Amino acid sequence: MAAIELSDVRKTYPGGFEAVKGISLPIRDGEFVVLVGPSGCGKSTLLRMIAGLERITSGTVKIANRVVNNLEPMQRDIAMVFQNYALYPHMTVFQNLAYGLKNRGMAKSEIDIRVDEVARILEIEPYLARKPRALSGGQRQRVAMGRAIVREPAAFLFDEPLSNLDAKLRIQMRGEIKQLQKRLGTTSVYVTHDQLEAMTLADRLVVLNTGEIEQIGTPLDIYRRPATTFVAAFIGSPAMNLVKAHRRSGAAVFGDASLPMADDIASGMEVTVGVRPEDLTVAGTKDALRLTLKIAYVEELGATRLVHGTVDGQNLVASVPVDCPLGETLEVHAEPSALHFFDPQTGRRLN
């Protein structure tokens, strides 16, 4: 168990492409940090630099207060779970789990004890004698987890370990990973592009975009106060509505609604206003801002219903209860406290 510290870590691939542009991130001992971002934003690259599978162009990576830049993965005392599991196909499950221990020169009797223990935790005992190809995807996933756990490393690194599973199994394994990590208390860095997975797993969420950190915070913080329009659009499903509004003194005007907004927070004539679909409610207080949504189409989700429509020519989505009556238009309300203001040029949060 150990803290991990990244300071100004950069990666430039041969050919000059800068995949990671100076990331500093302290990770506390026992913390579960999730790196999330769209495809190609450098998540895997960053994780692989921590693992020691990718050379670090500049900056330092410390694990347990030791600079590990030039150490082999094994010496860094980490374990990694790969997206396609990367189990050794010619070895049995037992041998897969034991291989790393054997390479460390552990005694056979001790290896047996450790593997049995982990197999019990992960409920893969019945499969110990099988080869990986005789396992289902979910079972392989467990074995891959087992191979990481059995080494009792200082940190777990996960690179999209659930993306090859079907939706239901993914949710189940997500819960198991979370519980297991809590129980073992091992520092973990988890990479995913699935924002829901990120929200549910993370103690702390790191949103990456084009090799840079957009925002760091607890999942709720990030959900409630996204720092940029990028984060606002990326975290949360359905995505936050972002619309353009014009500035007037003390207000931002959007359609026929006027949103109260302090004058001093921005300079330009325009402002980007964000509001989450679930914050557009059918009923509202008297302070609430009223919008008339011209309905384009409706998606039924069972528990709620997503109404897609336009206000003043800009697209908006509202998440409303299924019993709410629908016509040509829908009157929705947004509380002033639920509004997010962003600078349209920089995308930074204003309020």
Partner 1 sequence: MVENRPWLNIFSHIVLILGVLTVAFPVYLAFIASTHGPDDFMSGVMPVLPGPHLIDNYWQMLSQGVSTSGAPPLWRMMFNSLVMALMIAVGKIAISILSAFAMVYFRFPLRGVAFWLIFITLMLPVEVRIMPTFKVVADLHLLNSYAGLSIPLIASATATFLFRQFFLTVPDELTEASRVDGATPMMFFRDILLPLSRTNIAALFVILFIYGWNQYLWPLLITTDPQYYTVVMGIKRMADVADAIPQWNVVMATVILAMLPPVVVVVAMQRLFVKGLVETEK
Ligand X SMILES: Nc1ncnc2c1ncn2[C@@H]1O[C@H](COP(=O)(O)OP(=O)(O)OP(=O)(O)O)[C@@H](O)[C@H]1O
**Of partner 1, Mg ion, ligand X, none, which one does residue 82 interact with (CB within 5 to 8 Å by kind)?**
partner 1
Name the residue nearer to ligand X (CB basis): 42 or 226: 42
User: What residues are paired with 332 via a beta bridge?
Assistant: 291
d(CA 345, CA 113): 59
The residue within the footprint of partner 1, chosen from 3, 74, 216, 350 (CB under 8 A), is 74
Name the residue nearer to partner 1 (CB basis): 160 or 214: 160
Please check whether residue 52 is in contact with residue 67, taking contact to mean a CB–CB distance below 8 angstroms.
Answer: no
- Is the bond into 73 cis (omega within 30 degrees of 0)? no
What is the smallest separation between the CB atom of 99 and Mg ion, expressed in angstroms?
24
**Of Mg ion, partner 1, ligand X, none, which one does residue 41 interact with (CB within 5 to 8 Å by kind)?**
ligand X
**Of partner 1, ligand X, Mg ion, none, which one does residue 42 interact with (CB within 5 to 8 Å by kind)?**
ligand X
The amino acid that residue 84 corresponds to is: N
Burial category of 35 from C-beta neighbours within 10 Å (exposed 0-12, middle 13-18, buried 19 and up): buried
For residue 169 the two structure tokens come to 């199994």
What is the smallest separation between the CB atom of 227 and ligand X, expressed in angstroms?
19
The amino acid that residue 121 corresponds to is: I
> Which range in 38-46, 162-170, 196-204, 279-287 contacts Mg ion by CB under 5 A?
38-46
**Of ligand X, Mg ion, partner 1, none, which one does residue 45 interact with (CB within 5 to 8 Å by kind)?**
ligand X
State phi, psi for 176 to the nearest 5 degrees. -70, -40
DSSP letters along 298-350, please?
A: EEE-SSEEEEEEEETTEEEEEEEETTS---SEEEEEE-GGG-EEE-TTT-BB-
Name the residue nearer to ligand X (CB basis): 19 or 128: 19
Range 41-70, binding partner 1 (CB under 8 A): 51-53
- Contact flag: residue 44 with Mg ion (CB under 5 A): yes
Count of residues that interact with Mg ion, criterion CB under 5 A: 1
d(CA 238, CA 277): 7
What is the smallest separation between the CB atom of 15 and ligand X, expressed in angstroms?
6
The residue within the footprint of partner 1, chosen from 134, 262, 296, 301 (CB under 8 A), is 134
- Contact flag: residue 79 with partner 1 (CB under 8 A): yes
Range 14-33, binding partner 1 (CB under 8 A): none
d(CA 39, CA 285): 41
- Contact flag: residue 192 with Mg ion (CB under 5 A): no
Residue numbers at the binding site for ligand X (CB under 6 A): 13, 15, 17, 19, 37, 39-45, 193
Name the residue nearer to partner 1 (CB basis): 147 or 349: 147
H/E stretch holding 231: helix 229-234
**Of ligand X, partner 1, Mg ion, none, which one does residue 39 interact with (CB within 5 to 8 Å by kind)?**
ligand X
Residue (of 248, 35, 1) closest to 158 by Cα position: 35
Question: Using CB atoms, what's the residue nearest to ligand X?
Answer: 44
- Tell how far CA 94 is from the center of its chain: 32
d(CA 67, CA 286): 58
The residue within the footprint of partner 1, chosen from 30, 59, 100, 284 (CB under 8 A), is 100
Distant-in-sequence, close-in-space partners of 81: CB < 8 Å, separation ≥ 6: 144, 145, 147, 148, 156, 157, 158, 159, 161
Name the residue nearer to Mg ion (CB basis): 86 or 282: 86
**Of partner 1, Mg ion, ligand X, none, which one does residue 149 interact with (CB within 5 to 8 Å by kind)?**
none
Binding site for partner 1 (CB under 8 A): 51-53, 72-74, 78-80, 82-84, 86-90, 99-100, 103-104, 133-134, 147, 151
